[in-house]
Amino acid sequence: MELEKSYDLSILVNDSKRLVLEELGRRIEASAEEGICDCQDCVVDMATLALNSLKPRYHASLLGTFYAQAAAEGDYAEEVHKAVDEAIRKVKANPSHA
Ligand SMILES: [Zn+2]
């Protein structure tokens, strides 16, 4: 059964992705932060590393805002912060661009 043909799954929203991209965006803006490279390759690589190290956090957007806000606070926000730190550190040490 192909679920996507039978159900509207576009309501599935990945909070971890949104949160990582927001955090990474802040860090790149706030920077020239000791040499974060903001080229396409490095940014995609940092986002990928951070996202793969986090537990996914999906919600159905019908219930939307409440869960999205909850995810932005507390323990999960701290995990996102650490994941982005670590991703920045790794890519800085070993940049993805040629
Ligand atoms: Zn780069």
How do residues 35-86 score in pLDDT, each as one tens digit?
A: 789 999 999 999 999 999 999 988 887 755 555 566 556 788 999 999 999 9
pLDDT, residue 11, reads 86
Q: Which residues surround ligand 1, an ion (CB under 5 A)?
A: 37, 39, 42, 95, 97
CB of 46 within 8 A of CB of 84?
yes
How do residues 6-46 score in pLDDT, each as one tens digit?
A: 999 988 888 899 999 999 999 998 876 577 899 999 999 99
pTM of the entire structure? Answer: 0.80
Ramachandran region, residue 32 (left: φ > 0; alpha: ψ -120 to 50; beta: rest): left
Please report which helix (H) or strand (E) contains residue 82, including its range: helix 74-93
CB of 98 within 8 A of CB of 45?
no
Beta bridge partners of 60: 12
Question: What contacts 49, CB < 8 A, 6 or more positions away?
Answer: 83, 86, 87, 90, 91
Q: How far is the CA of 24 from the centre of ligand 1 (A)?
A: 14
Q: How far is the CA of 8 from the centre of ligand 1 (A)?
A: 37
Instruction: Give the domain ranges of the chain.
Output: 9-93
